[in-house]
């Protein structure tokens, strides 16, 4: 049976928008010494805005018709930003859409084979693109039509207001390793890490790379690893970590289902609050 003190702890947490999927996680979270964090939607707001559009040998209007038609089939925050931040003049037909996890989309738009995603996606399909793409600081969405590079759109996201402060407080509290992982460009990932005071960060990762990182950490003696993420891609990592924490605001249903703890308010300060509630619950129980 579950000691009475746990119910108090679970209740206090839920009043603060921290949903523990069982009393055992209230205990587990107090043992966490390693925090692995996703970037987009976790440390950043996950609400992208279109910055720049550049096309190559195609009218911008035509380019956008292809891009928007395909992005309408995706629920990714980048896709939503593009659909909301640009306009199409024609509704092209879309067939055979395939989501390439951590990279983008492939589909038949207006009977042409279209790719929309990052540099890794175009490389996978052996589509050549200008090298200058790699030096753009914002997140870059590349487009290829029938195997030919057609241009790019850049999108940008903002840091969450409480991110820097929350990281500092977690470090001061004794979390001895904080690692940020992202499927976004490594250059952006490193910049965000510096801005937030996170010592270790890795970008250009596929969902399975994130999984490997967390599994490797878990295998290190004495490490208790929490993963904090939001996206649909994060479900496997949430499941494998000692404590999987999902940001509930924009988070996908799959991530929320897989997580052990859901932070409904999306605030990073709730991580430390959850740990503190766990600790005070322990003190009551024992």
The residue from 154, 233, 241, 252 that contacts ligand ADP (CB under 6 A) is 233
Pick 82 or 277: Cβ nearer ligand ADP: 82
The residue from 20, 45, 92, 104 that contacts ligand ADP (CB under 6 A) is 104
Q: Which parts of the chain are beta strand (E)?
A: 18-20, 34-38, 49-55, 94-100, 104-109, 112-117, 139-145, 148-156, 177-181, 200-202, 225-229, 243-247, 261-263
Give min distance, CB of 66 to ligand ADP, in A: 13
Of 75-83, 192-200, 214-222, 259-267: span binding ligand ADP (CB under 6 A):
75-83
Contact status: 267 vs ligand ADP (CB under 6 A): no
Contact status: 184 vs ligand ADP (CB under 6 A): yes
Give min distance, CB of 173 to ligand ADP, in A: 26
Pairing mode, strands 243-247 and 261-263: parallel
Residue 136, burial from CB neighbour count under 10 angstroms (0-12, 13-18, 19+): middle
R_g (Cα) of the chain, nearest Å:
21
Structure tokens at 112: 């042409």
Binding site residues, Mg ion, CB under 5 A: 231, 233
Binding partner at 103 among ligand ADP, Mg ion, none, C-beta below 5 to 8 Å by kind: ligand ADP
Structure tokens at 78: 């980048």
Binding partner at 78 among Mg ion, ligand ADP, none, C-beta below 5 to 8 Å by kind: ligand ADP
Give min distance, CB of 73 to Mg ion, in A: 17
Contact status: 166 vs ligand ADP (CB under 6 A): no
Structure tokens at 131: 């090298």
Of 159-167, 177-185, 215-223, 268-276: span binding ligand ADP (CB under 6 A):
177-185
CB atoms within 10 A of CB 282: 15
Q: How far apart are CA 234 and CA 171, in angstroms?
A: 24
How many residues make contact with ligand ADP (CB under 6 A)?
22
Contact status: 252 vs ligand ADP (CB under 6 A): no
Pairing mode, strands 104-109 and 94-100: antiparallel
Active site residue: 27, 38, 138, 157, which one?
Answer: 38
38 included as an active-site residue = yes
Contact status: 183 vs ligand ADP (CB under 6 A): yes
Structure tokens at 99: 């989501």
Q: Rounded to the nearest 10 degrees, how much is the dihedral formed by the CA atoms of 235, 236, 239, 243?
A: -80
Contact status: 107 vs ligand ADP (CB under 6 A): no
Q: How far apart are CA 202 and CA 157, in angstroms?
A: 18
Pick 230 or 242: Cβ nearer ligand ADP: 230
Active site residues: 38
| Binding footprint of ligand ADP on the chain (CB under 6 A) | 38-40, 71, 74, 76, 78-79, 102-105, 116-118, 139, 141, 182-184, 231, 233
């Amino acid at each position: 049976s579950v000691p009475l003190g746990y119910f108090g702890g679970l209740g206090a947490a839920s009043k603060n928008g921290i949903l523990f999927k069982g009393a055992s996680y209230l205990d587990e979270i107090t043992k966490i010494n390693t925090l692995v964090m996703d970037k987009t939607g976790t440390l950043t707001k996950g609400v992208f805005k279109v910055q720049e559009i550049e096309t190559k040998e195609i009218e911008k209007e035509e380019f956008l018709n292809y891009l928007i038609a395909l992005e309408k089939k995706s629920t990714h925050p980048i896709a939503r930003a593009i659909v909301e931040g640009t306009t199409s003049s024609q509704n092209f037909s879309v067939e055979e859409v395939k989501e390439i996890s951590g990279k983008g989309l492939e589909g038949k738009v207006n009977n042409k084979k279209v790719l929309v995603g990052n540099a890794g996606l175009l490389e996978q399909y052996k589509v050549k693109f200008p090298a200058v793409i790699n030096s753009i600081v914002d997140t870059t969405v590349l487009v290829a039509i029938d195997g030919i590079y057609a241009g790019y759109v850049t999108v940008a996201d903002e840091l969450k207001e409480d991110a820097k402060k929350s990281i500092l407080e977690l470090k001061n509290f004794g979390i001895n390793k904080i690692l940020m992982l992202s499927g976004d460009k490594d250059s952006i990932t490193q910049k965000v890490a510096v801005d937030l005071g996170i010592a270790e960060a890795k970008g250009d990762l596929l969902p399975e790379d994130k999984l490997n990182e967390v599994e490797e950490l878990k295998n290190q003696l004495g490490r208790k690893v929490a993963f904090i993420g939001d996206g649909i891609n994060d479900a496997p990592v949430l499941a494998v970590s000692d404590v999987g924490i999902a940001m509930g605001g924009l988070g996908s249903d799959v991530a929320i289902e897989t997580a052990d703890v859901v932070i409904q308010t999306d605030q990073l300060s709730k991580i430390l609050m959850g740990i503190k509630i766990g600790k005070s619950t322990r003190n009551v129980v024992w």
